[in-house]
Structure formats: C-alpha cells, structure tokens
Chain A
C-alpha cells in the first residue's frame, strides 16, 4: 500500500506542473511571521488554444477562422519578495517579467507574428490577519485576514499590448483570505475571495482591447491541503474568476456584451527541502485545469513551477 502510494505521488509529481496555489501577488493565506524575509520565484506557462467568437457567440479554436488571433502563448517569470512587518502583517513586492507570442491575421488579411518580452508589472501588496487562533470550535490554526495588492503596469507599449502581454492597466485587489485545519485530521483548507478592479486600456490601432474598460473580476480559490509526509504537501481545489462587469472583448453578433468567467480544478504538490518544519522552504508545482471558461483567449492548462525560501532575521 505504502509503495503504491509513494509511486502514485511520484508519478503525479513527475507528470504535473502547475497556477500558483497561493494568491500570486498577495502570497500564501497562512501569511508569514514577523521578521521573516520571504523570496519566491516562479514561472507560469500558458499556451492559449481558444478564443471568443463574436459570430458563433462561443469559445472556438483559435485557428478556426481566418481573422484575429491564430495562436498565442505567455511565459511569465514572477519574483516576489515578502517581509513580515508584524506577526499579523506582512508586505510584498512582485516583479513580473513576461514573454508573449501571438500570431494573428489583421482586418486587412495580413498575417502578423508578434513576439515581445518585457518587465510587465510591479505589484505592491499587504496582508493583515485580524484573526489568528489556535483553535475555533472544530477548526485548528484558524487564520482569517485581509489581503490587498496594487498592480502598476509597465507594459503599455503598443508592441507589448499587441503581443497579448496584458491589458497594460492599473489593477487593485482586495478581499478576505483564510486558512485552517479541520480538527486534528491534518487536512487544511485554504482560500481567498478577492475583488480585482481593472482600469481602462489605452487606444492602440489593431488591438482588440483598444480603449476598453477592462472588466473587474472576483477571483476565488478553495483548496484542501494535506501533508502525508514530512517532505511533501499536496492539495486540490477549485480556483478561478468571475467577471463582475460586461467584458467589451466578449461581444455578441448583435453588439451586446457578455461577462467572462474561468473556473478551474487545481492540484498542487510541494516538496519541502528541510522538512515541514520549514514549510516555506520548498519547490512547488501547480496545475490549473479549466472546466468552464469564457474569455478573450483561454488556455487548456496553466502550469506553474516555483521555488521559495525563508530567512529569519530575529
């Protein structure tokens, strides 16, 4: 039984890579202690295969027609540096470096192959836990906090916007984050629900989102985590976002607008370099598999691979 278990886990580990289990700019819903420096580096890979079709009013394969996007991919390197200011308050900064590639056919029928790379965003974030209890009823290690993050766009050159490296708008996230253990089962539940405000895109000729008000979203995550071995944690749950406004990139044939959404299963595995006593010194793999999505362009799987460490200054 044990050998099969280990084999399954190793197979899964070897096979999978994964979207960040924690909120990618605000950080883990467990937070970090006072005086702890917390660097993290991860790479996220998205190969887009579907896009919104105005004529069919549904998601279609990217190369199913002879106009608009034909192929697109993004690789994003994300470096985050966090610091615990107080035992219940931590701050962080994210730098996102993005490689974007897109093949498209413009309105004149001309085929364009675009490829750009750039430092696209800086995010400043904070996390405050107003509830941090050893036990609350049947729940152990109960943490409830508020996370906020402000994203400053650095990628608003015409070339970067055309290559699909993001909308180039200011963004702000705010909402609750939680983490607790169910009794003494060792099964932990982590998650967040963040409202994400997004600004209005610049006008760029030939860009599908030119001048659009980028729709706000509600980002969510609910996941179970379990640590079967001292050296490993794994987890599974649901994650995604729900459009809170009509998305100007999701037009119907009659010109009406739709709200976007993306709902995914997520699984993750983490290997602790120094055992679970140092739970934030680890390498992690995350995979998001969407089961329902409506957006300007979508990827069938989002993979993330990352590493983080902690330095204790006290």
Chain B
C-alpha cells in the first residue's frame, strides 16, 4: 500500500476524530472553571491565600452567589471573586480576580487569584499596575482604565468581569444587611447561607 493511499485512508479517520472531539468533548477550560466555582473548599483556600491566613473572613452564599465578609482592623469589607459573577473570557479563558469593597461599594483592593490566560501576560498585567487603576472606583461609575499593551484581551476581560461583578453585587446588596455582627437577609424570600 503506497503512502498516498495510507494518507487518504487516515484522512477520514482524522477528520472523524476532530468531529467526534468537537461534538463530544466539552471545552476543558470551562469545565475546570465550573469545578472551581462549585468547590467551597477551594473558595475558602483562595480567600485565605489572597487575604492572608490571619485575616478574619467568613464566607456566605446569597441565593447561590458567594461572597465573604472580611474584618480588617476596625473596618468591614466584602470580598468577591469575579468568576462567581462573570464568565467573560480573555485570550484563553476566565481570569478570576478577588475584589475587596467597602460597605459603600468602593473598590479598595483587587488581585488576580487565578487565570486561564497565558501566565507571563497575566503577570505582566499585574506588574504594570493595571489593577491599581480600579482602586477607589465607586459603584455605578464606568472604569476608564488603560490596558497593558500586548495583553489587551486579558485586561479587557478583567475590567468587564469586574464591572459585571460590581453590578450584580450592587443588586444583591439591596437584599443584605451587613451592619450587624453577622450578615442578615432583609427579605424572607432571600436565602442566605454560611459557607463552612
């Protein structure tokens, strides 16, 4: 059997493989992302890692959406992971950022905790101070930030996921009372659970 015939025999096999893979295999990135989203241990681990092990932090779920209340000195902040609120993808996938906001909804801190984009570009985004541009951003204000050259897709994804997160949490905050020692749902129809 000559090589041309072998080639023509293998071609449909290969094309069938591509089609079968395309039809049967879910996008691995999204699957991995969903796993981390549903894993409460991983959630706690990410929070501890990002906030420091000494941070006083309690995690909750409001109608299935996770958030954490963090005590920093005399101040109470809310920690959100953007991947819980947004599916926006950058160059390769989702970048999950931890955003700390005060009770007025102003951004105090933002950190990338995990990303499916190419790591050197994500590190570059962080090193160039892209995230610092969001500090002090008030709720309802569109962020006007400069993307890092060469990593615009990652920057755009971080920005858009942050905007979606802030918008969604602003709606959630209407149903929450965060002034007491423990968060409390304002309405009985709202389900607030503590994540252990």
Contacts and interface: CB of A to CB of B under 8 A. Distances in A.
Interface string A100-130: 0000000000000000000000000000000
B120 to A, nearest CB: 4
Nearest to A269: B14
Given A141-B153, A276-B92, A5 B120 contact: no
A287 interface: yes
A4 B124 CA distance: 41
Interface stretch (A52-60, A168-176, A225-233, A252-260): A225-233
Given A8-B16, A134-B153, A267-B15, A15 B10 contact: yes
Interface in A1-44: 1-2, 4-5, 8-9, 11-12, 15-16, 33-35
B15 A236 contact: yes
B113 to A, nearest CB: 15
Interface stretch (B18-26, B75-83, B164-172, B182-190): B18-26
A12 B13 contact: yes
Interface string B148-180: 011111001000000000000000000000000
A277 B116 contact: yes
Contacts of A265: 11
Contact of A87 (B11, B24, B116, B149): B149
B152 A2 contact: no
Interface in B92-134: 92, 116-121, 124
* Chain B, interface SS category: helix
Nearest to A280: B118
A34 B18 CA distance: 32
A142 to B, nearest CB: 11
Given A87-B150, A276-B92, A312-B120, A289 B11 contact: yes
Interface in A265-282: 265, 267, 269, 276-279
Nearest to B2: A300
A301 B121 contact: no
A2 B7 contact: no
B28 interface: yes
A47 B16 CA distance: 27
A8 B20 contact: yes
Given A33-B121, A34-B149, A289-B8, A228 B22 contact: yes
B29 interface: yes
B4 interface: yes
Contacts of B43: none
- Identify which of A1, A5, A11, A234 gathers the most chain B CB atoms within 10 Å of its CB: A5
A160 B3 CA distance: 26
Contacts of A269: 14
A277 B117 contact: yes
B127 to A, nearest CB: 9
A295 to B, nearest CB: 15
A312 B92 CA distance: 17
B17 interface: yes
B118 A229 contact: no
B119 A301 contact: no
A267 B14 contact: yes
B27 A186 contact: yes
Contacts of A84: 150
A2 B22 contact: no
A131 interface: no
A5 B17 CA distance: 6
A187 B120 CA distance: 25
A16 B21 contact: no
A90 to B, nearest CB: 11
Contacts of A15: 10, 13
A5 B153 contact: no
Given A228-B21, A228-B22, A230-B32, 15 more contacts: A5-B25, A9-B17, A11-B17, A33-B121, A47-B3, A132-B152, A186-B22, A229-B21, A230-B28, A235-B18, A236-B15, A287-B10, A301-B4, A301-B7, A314-B120
Interface of A: 1-2, 4-5, 8-9, 11-12, 15-16, 33-35, 47, 49, 84, 87, 132, 134, 141, 186-187, 226-230, 234-236, 265, 267, 269, 276-279, 287, 289, 300-301, 312, 314
In the A-B complex, the 4 residue pairs with the smallest Cβ-Cβ separation, listed nearest first, are A300-B4, A228-B21, A87-B150, A312-B120
